Structure 1
């Protein structure tokens, strides 16, 4: 007799639960990643225009926040503005808690700076 090969019902259910859990985390985390890349794009655009003062940087960021509704985690006052070699460098950092189920959260720490 030949040995049977395949997946048992319990194995199938196990892998279905694992795939569903990974998909749930992905569905909940992807919007925060998109928000991070949007913030990075806005910060790069502002730094490329080489604003003259820190309030000008923050005001420009607030103007972008009003246009781009996906930015909710950070405000202009959270930006750190420095100068390196006569270039404006804007950096930011924030934490995002993503609810998974009940009192279980995924904590993602984002940080970035202008190029």
Structure 2
């Protein structure tokens, strides 16, 4: 027989026994499924629930930046921030909560804010996220 005839035969081991070729089955195992479920419940779900809070943080940051750019004194910073907060539906910070720093000439140097938000995850479990920012 040539080489082609030998390739098609099963390998014999020992006394005429043919060894089965074992292949690992493809797909998910039970452990893989449990790890995926744990990841979704433990990491992805809280992250998804925190997205609205993160969006609100960027709105606060944008409103503080806008107020700093437009205003010439502390009172105007508060007014501009409150107007923008009404438009963007910001409820976590008010204009009077801002820390506004001025130089000796009365020019606004920075507008700071800090607040905490509680994000319910499931049942009695929730995340407490602290946000802060400075607009120069």
Structure-2-length-normalised TM-score: 0.72
Q: Which residue pairs with 2:131 in the alignment?
A: 110
Helix, strand or coil at the partner of 2:72:
coil
Q: Which residue pairs with 2:77 in the alignment?
A: 57
C-alpha contact (below 8 Å) 1:51/1:88 kept by paired residues? no
Structure-1-length-normalised TM-score: 0.84
> Which consecutive segments of 4 or more residues in structure 1 shift more than 6 A?
none
Change (3 A) 1:50 1:65: closer
Q: Which residue pairs with 1:46 in the alignment?
A: 67
Q: How many angstroms does 1:39 deviate by?
A: 0.8
Helix, strand or coil at the partner of 1:24:
helix
Q: Which residue pairs with 2:115 in the alignment?
A: 94
Matches of 2:33 and 2:45, distance apart in 1: 18
Q: Which runs of 5+ in 2 are unaligned?
A: 1-20
Say how many residue pairs are matched. 113
Q: Which runs of 5+ in 1 are unaligned?
A: none
Matches of 1:22 and 1:84, distance apart in 2: 44
Change (3 A) 1:51 1:5: farther
Q: Give 1 or 2 for the bigger CA radius of gyration.
A: 2
Higher relative contact order (CA 8 A, sep 6+): 1
Q: How many angstroms does 1:26 deviate by?
A: 1.7
